[in-house]
Structure 1
Amino acid sequence: MPPTPSSVSRTSRIQGALLGAFIGDALALGPHWYYDLDALKRDYGDWVSDYAAPKPGRYHGGLPAGASSQAGFILALTTRSLVDCGGYDEADFCARMDRELFPLLDGTPMAGPGGYTSQSIREAWRKRRAGLPWGQVAGLADNTEAAERVLAIALRYADEPAQLARHVSSNVALTQRDPTVGAMTLAFAAVLGQLVNGVALDGDLSGRLMGMVKSGELPFHTVTSGELDVPQGAEAPLQAGQFASPDALLTVSSIARAAHDPAVAIEPASKVGLVYGLPCAVYHQFPAAYYLAARFQGDMEQGVLNAVNAGGQNQARAMLAGALCGALGGLEAIPARFIAGLEKGEEYLALAKAVAERVG
C-alpha cells in the first residue's frame, strides 16, 4: 500500500514523479504499440508485471529489458540540463539536443537511441539539418512527445506556477506548434506541479487551476467567472501567448470525479485504453493518465501496470501516469524491483534527487 498523502514530503514526491516517468517508459519498452490486444497477450501473457525485452521485429528491437526508449533519453537530457544550469536554460537545452541527440538520428522512424524516433523529433531534426534555427523547427504532430520531457521542468518549478507555465510553454513550442497540444501539455504540467506540492487529485483541482488563470499565473483566456458561472462585465481581450480556452485545465477534475463515481466503471482498469483511445494523440493520452492516477492515486505499481497493459501507445500513457502516481505516492511508493531493474536507475535516482534539491 502507498503511504498516506500527509506523510509524503515534497522532496519524495518530486523524486517519485521523475522516477515514475522513467519507470513507466521502460516498463512499456517491450510490449509497446500493440494495437491488437490479443497479440499483446500472445507475446507477453495475460499481464505484464515487470520489465520485458521487445520481441524481434518490434519497436525498440534489440534493447534489453529495463532500458529507456528515446522518450526516456530526452527526459534524461532535459533533466541534466536543468540540474547543470540550476534551472531551465533554453540555449543549453537546444545545444544538448544538437550535440547529444540529433547526430544519432537519420530521419527515419526506426533509428536513434531507444530504437524509435517520434514524428515531432524527426521534423525538428530535418529542419535543423536544413539550417533552420531553433524557434523555426516545430511541427504539427499531436503526440505527447513534449510532455514526456517538460514534466521535468514542471517538477523543477512546482512552487512557481508562472515560471512553470512560461518555461514549459517555451520548451513545448520548440518541437510542437499546435496550440491545442500546447494547452493540453501545459495543463498536464500544471497538474503535476500541484500534485508534488501536496494538492489532491480530485474534483476540486480544476477550480484551483482556474484560480491561477484569474490571478494571471497560468496563460489561459477565460470569459466565465468563478466556477464557470455567467460572465461579469466586459471581456478582457485575448493576449499574445495566451491559450484561447482553459478547457484543458477542466479535464482533470471531470475525470477524477468519474474515477471515484461508483456509477462509472472501467473494469478492469487496463480497459482505459479502449475507453479513451489507443493512439498517440494528446486527447487520448492525457485523459487516460489522469484516470489511472485518480483511480490508483499513489499506488504507482497499479497505475503504471494498468497503463502498460492497456496496449496501444502504452509507453506515453505509462510515463504520464507514472509521473502523476509518483507525485502522489512519492519515492517510497515505488516497488524496489522497478528501481533495481531499471537500466541507469542509479543515475536517474541521482538526477531526481538533484532536481528536488533545486526546488524552492
Structure 2
Amino acid sequence: MTLSSSLTDRAAGALMGAFIGEALGVGPHWYYDLDELRQDHGDWIDGYTTPKPGRYHQGLKAGELSQAGLLLKLTLASLVDCGDYDEADFCWRLDHDFFPLLDGTPHAGPGGYTSQSIRDAWHKRVEEGHPWGRCGGFADTTEAIERTLAIAVRHARSPRRLAEAVAANTVLTQIDNNLVAMTVAFAAVTGLLVQGHRLDPGLSGKLMARVRTGELPFHAVTADRLQPPPSHAPEPPRAGRFASPDALLTPSYMARAAEDPAIRIEPAWKVSLVYGMPCAIYHLLPASYYLAARFHDDFEAAVLHAINGGGQNQARAMLTGTLVGAQVGLAGIPQRFIDGLAEADALLALARRLAEQLATEEN
C-alpha cells in the first residue's frame, strides 16, 4: 500500500485511525495475563469484540467507543464548531456535557471506565470548585494525547500554534512537565505525518529544525546530528518551556529499530513486552512509534499488533492508529474497520469537516 498523497485524506485518516484503534480495545482492554487474553478472545484478535462479563467496559458492544474515544469526539466537535482550538468552548463542553455524567469513581460515566486524570480533574472542578487552570494532576498516562490528537490534526500546518494549543489543553488535566513535553512531541509528529512525511529515521531531524526556528518550544543544547556545539558557539536561545528535545528524538530511534534487520521483535505484538504493558506514557509511546514505523503502510497490521500485545492495548492501538492513519490516509484504512465502528457516519463527517478546515487554512 502506498502512502496517501492528499492532505485531507491523511487528516481524516489520522482521526478515524484513532477512533478505530480505541474501539478495537473495548473488548480486550487491560489483560496483563496474555494466556487469559487468548482464552477470552482467541489466539489472534482481528476485529471489534464485546467485553466479557466483569471486564472494564462491560455493557459496551463491539465497535462502540469507550471514554477516550468519546473525549476525542468532544474535542473534535469543539474544533469543528469553533474552527480553531477554543479553550473556553472546550471547557464549557466538559462542564456541561461530560462532567455531569461522572461521579468521580473509576467505573462510572460514559464509556465504562474513567481514567485517573479525568477523575482528578472532576474532583477538583466539581467537588472542590477550582477554576480551570487549577484542576490538573500528575497522572502519567496518555489521556491528554488521546484527545489532543484532534488539535494536532487541525493545526498540522502551523507547528507553533499546534504546540501552544496542545500544551494548553494538556495542562487542564495533567501538569507534569515531562508528560506535557511528550504529549506535545506526539502532536508534532502527528502534524508532520498529516503534512505528508513518513515516520522514518529522518523525522526527528525535521522536528529539530523546527526547534531551531522557534516553532516548537523545546530547548536544544546539541548541534546538528546531536554533536556537541563548538566551544566558541554562543548559547542558543531557549525556544520555550521544555528543557530537553529528547521527546522529539524518540520517534526516529524507534524507526531505526524497526528498519534495522539485526533488530527484530517477532511477532510484532511482543513490542508490548519489550517496552512494557502498563499505562504510563513512557511505555506506550515507544511501542506506538515502533509499530507505526514498521507498519507505516499497513494500517491493519499496525493496529492489530497493538491490540494483541495486551496490557494497555487500547491506548497503544489508538495512538498507533493515529500515526498510521495519517500515513496511509482514510483511503488506506480497510473498509471493514469503518463498517464495524459505531456511529461511523457521524465520526466520518466530523473528521472530514476538520480536514477541510485544515486544507483551507492559510499557511
Do 2:148 and 2:170's aligned partners in 1 also have CA atoms closer than 8 Å? yes
CA positional deviation for 1:224? 1.2
Partner residue, 2:227: 229
Q: Distance in 1 between matches of 2:82 and 2:176?
A: 28
Superimposed CA distance per residue, residues 272-305 of structure 1 (whole angstroms, 9 cap, x where no aligned partner): 1001100011100111100000000031111001
Partner residue, 1:274: 273
Specify the SS of the correspondent of 2:311: coil
Identity of aligned residues (%): 63
Partner residue, 2:295: 296
Do 1:298 and 1:330's aligned partners in 2 also have CA atoms closer than 8 Å? no
> Is 2:332 aligned against 1:333?
yes
Do 2:198 and 2:296's aligned partners in 1 also have CA atoms closer than 8 Å? no
Partner residue, 1:243: 242
Structure 2 gaps of 5+ residues are none
CA positional deviation for 1:201? 1.1
Superimposed CA distance per residue, residues 292-331 of structure 1 (whole angstroms, 9 cap, x where no aligned partner): 0000003111100100000000000000000001000000
Q: Which amino acid aligns with 2:305?
A: N
Do 1:31 and 1:311's aligned partners in 2 also have CA atoms closer than 8 Å? yes
Partner residue, 1:189: 187
Q: TM-score, normalised by structure 2?
A: 0.97
Q: Which amino acid aligns with 1:125?
A: W
Q: Distance in 1 between matches of 2:219 and 2:46?
A: 43
* Corresponding residue to 2:69 among 64, 72, 82: 72
Q: Distance in 2 between matches of 1:279 and 1:110?
A: 19
Q: Distance in 2 between matches of 1:310 and 1:33?
A: 10
* Corresponding residue to 2:212 among 186, 211, 214: 214
Q: Distance in 2 between matches of 1:17 and 1:200?
A: 13
Q: Distance in 2 between matches of 1:54 and 1:98?
A: 29
Q: Which amino acid aligns with 2:203?
A: L
CA positional deviation for 1:236? 4.0
Superimposed CA distance per residue, residues 30-60 of structure 1 (whole angstroms, 9 cap, x where no aligned partner): 0000000000000000000011000000001
Superimposed CA distance per residue, residues 207-228 of structure 1 (whole angstroms, 9 cap, x where no aligned partner): 1100100000000011112221
Specify the SS of the correspondent of 1:92: helix
CA positional deviation for 1:159? 0.5
Partner residue, 2:30: 33
Partner residue, 1:252: 251
Q: CA RMSD in A?
A: 1.0
Q: Distance in 2 between matches of 1:106 and 1:26?
A: 23
Partner residue, 1:91: 88
Q: Which amino acid aligns with 2:297?
A: G
Do 2:21 and 2:318's aligned partners in 1 also have CA atoms closer than 8 Å? yes
Q: Which amino acid aligns with 2:243?
A: A
Specify the SS of the correspondent of 2:226: coil
CA positional deviation for 1:8? 2.6
Q: Which amino acid aligns with 2:179?
A: V
Structure 1 gaps of 5+ residues are none
Q: TM-score, normalised by structure 1?
A: 0.97
Partner residue, 1:174: 172
> Is 2:92 aligned against 1:104?
no
Q: Which amino acid aligns with 2:201?
A: G
Specify the SS of the correspondent of 2:117: helix
Partner residue, 1:148: 146
Do 1:120 and 1:176's aligned partners in 2 also have CA atoms closer than 8 Å? yes
Partner residue, 1:127: 124
Q: Distance in 2 between matches of 1:180 and 1:39?
A: 34
CA positional deviation for 1:153? 0.2
Specify the SS of the correspondent of 1:159: coil
Q: Distance in 2 between matches of 1:30 and 1:254?
A: 32
Q: Distance in 1 between matches of 2:229 and 2:345?
A: 52
CA positional deviation for 1:73? 0.3
Q: Which amino acid aligns with 1:59?
A: Y
Q: Distance in 1 between matches of 2:5 and 2:213?
A: 28
Do 2:50 and 2:61's aligned partners in 1 also have CA atoms closer than 8 Å? yes
Q: Distance in 1 between matches of 2:28 and 2:247?
A: 29
CA positional deviation for 1:229? 1.4
Partner residue, 2:59: 62
Specify the SS of the correspondent of 1:326: helix
